[in-house]
Amino acid sequence: MPWRIHRPFTYRTAGVQDRIHLPSKNGITMTSTTRRTAVLAGLTATLLAGPLAGAAIAAPTATITLNGSGASVSGSNVTVSGSAITITAPGSYQISGTLNNGYVKVDTAAAGTVELILSGASITNSTSSPLYVTNADAVTVTLAAGTTNRLTDATAYTNTGEPDAALFSAADLTIGGTGALTVQARYQDGIVSKDDLVIQSGTITVNAVDDAIRGKDSLTVNGGAITVTSTAGDGLKSNDTEAGKGVVNITNGTISVSVADDGIKGENALNISGGTINVTRSYEALEALKLTISGGNSTVVASDDAVNAAEEGLGHMEPSPNAFIRVTGGTVVATGGTDGFDSNGELTFAGGTVVANGSSTRGGGEGALDTDATLTFTGGTVVGAGLTSMAVFKAVPNTGQGWVAPRFSTTYAANTIVHVVSGSTVLASFRASKSFREVVISSNRITNGQRYDVYTGGSVSGTNVGGLYAGGSISGATRVLTGVTAGQYSGGMVRP
């Protein structure tokens, strides 16, 4: 009878459902076409050789079972000395069980990726890091499906220098899988790579004294559910100052941050193109020299500036030729104790939906939107509210997309509703989350040079994004300003 294949081959460790097979940084990425060709070639060879015996299973190089004070090993390239476990060659290593006071270390000069499959592993070290890489080409940590894993480091390290984090890698580090990992960083940092750090997936919780997650050269988040806290440091960051490094890229995933310092920081660049970001506590929530938001949903709170582009070494309010904030898409709700958005350089809104809440007590050089260079509206929908709506030194261009910036004679309390109206048509409706004296609104419904009335009170309806509603009614509202000209503003620090 003819051969029939009832299911495809699966290359998988027994009992481990989620595996990441990444090439080394000197390797070649296999495309889907290449993979199909390889699988078909393997099938052909097997069919010629004889009947199928079953699905092929790629066993790990070694299985490491932690047993409290040490470990037993089935496989090769692993040495055990008491509670010190060392992996000495590229390959796949499945780790399970509990190690009460010891470590797992990767130390290999050979080319190739080391995959650590955490499958219900709990490792504590009372003198240093519980899991670290001193030498490797690249390392992948896979969180096995249905498992919870835990790393806890010492409150003080007996070693000097490295390692200096609960999960530390001197090489490129990738984390994935659908399991969970909790990191208790009692000394300083939680998860650190001195090279590139990529988070593909997984449920990752880091509680750190200093930085929660740091990729020195770069940090990329492509997925996963990430929750980080820090009592003294940053949340997610990349801190290399070299050109082309110090970059944080967020393309997907859910990120929750509560920290003492910066929520998410790229020393040179921060690029957000997707995902959901929620920073509930920070000094500055999103920060970089060059900050671009093109997608995703970000809700961020900071005691100082919620979204900040800064260049080191410049004087106070000195314009930067290199710093910028550009919003081209996505949704951003930013609430700052000082500024909602603050750029030492240009500040551009070209798309997306933005609600910025600045200080309700400090005006002049602080505001919902603050820039030392040029503020430009070319697209999207933007609302800014605070004691000052636009803390600018230069007149805001009245070309591009229309904007209107009413200035009130009194301060309105939080939860006050503001409507911008043309005739009897409500163009924008906003319920403020903080007290305010000025508002700026830019959208494709507003035309520079036209005059608009402004009402307070009434009602709001429909979808709500940070207080900006899809609909509103001026029934029962009070007209407080008449004939406000769009494209004109004399507040902030604008010099005649």
Around 112, how many Cα atoms within 13 Å sit in the side-chain half-sphere? 11
Q: CB within 8 A of 46, min separation 6: which ones?
A: 52
The pLDDT tens digits of the residues spanning 261-302 come to: 999 999 999 999 999 999 999 999 999 999 999 999 999 999
Instruction: From residue 266, give the alpha-carbon distance in Å to each of 189, 214, 289, 376.
Output: 16, 10, 7, 23
pLDDT at 212 exceeding the cut of 60: yes
Q: What is the pLDDT of residue 312?
A: 86
pLDDT at 34 exceeding the cut of 80: no
The pLDDT tens digits of the residues spanning 183-206 come to: 999 999 999 999 999 999 999 999
Q: What is the pLDDT of residue 365?
A: 64
Q: What is the pLDDT of residue 166?
A: 98
Q: What is the pLDDT of residue 317?
A: 75
Average pLDDT estimate for 146-158: 98
Q: What is the pLDDT of residue 363?
A: 59
Q: What is the DSSP letter of 40?
A: H
Q: CB within 8 A of 62, min separation 6: which ones?
A: 73, 74, 75, 76, 77, 78, 87, 91, 93, 94
Q: What does the mean pLDDT of the chain come to?
A: 89
Whether residue 225 contacts residue 204, with contact meaning beta carbons closer than 8 Å, is answered with yes
Q: Give CA–CA dist 176/157, Å, rounded.
A: 28
Q: What is the pLDDT of residue 302?
A: 98
The pLDDT tens digits of the residues spanning 384-438 come to: 999 999 999 888 999 999 999 999 999 999 999 999 999 999 999 999 999 999 9
Average pLDDT estimate for 130-157: 98
With a pLDDT cut of 70, the percent of the chain lying above it is 86
Select from 208, 149, 204, 154 the least CA-distant residue to 174: 204
> What is the chain's percent helix, strand, coil content, to nearest 5?
5, 50, 45
Q: What is the pLDDT of residue 207?
A: 98
Q: Give the confidence band of 215 by pLDDT, cuts at 50, 70, 90.
A: very high
The pLDDT tens digits of the residues spanning 72-88 come to: 999 999 999 999 999 99
The pLDDT tens digits of the residues spanning 343-357 come to: 999 999 999 999 999
Q: What is the pLDDT of residue 292?
A: 98
Instruction: From residue 263, give the alpha-carbon distance in Å to each of 173, 200, 211, 229, 299.
Output: 21, 20, 10, 9, 11
Q: What is the DSSP letter of 415?
A: T
The pLDDT tens digits of the residues spanning 160-191 come to: 999 999 999 999 999 999 999 999 999 999 99
The most confident of the ranges 31-35, 272-276, 311-315 is 272-276
The pLDDT tens digits of the residues spanning 440-459 come to: 999 999 999 999 999 999 99
Q: What is the pLDDT of residue 5?
A: 35
Q: What is the pTM of this model?
A: 0.88
Collapsing DSSP to helix, strand or coil, 304 comes out as coil
Collapsing DSSP to helix, strand or coil, 46 comes out as helix
pLDDT at 38 exceeding the cut of 90: no
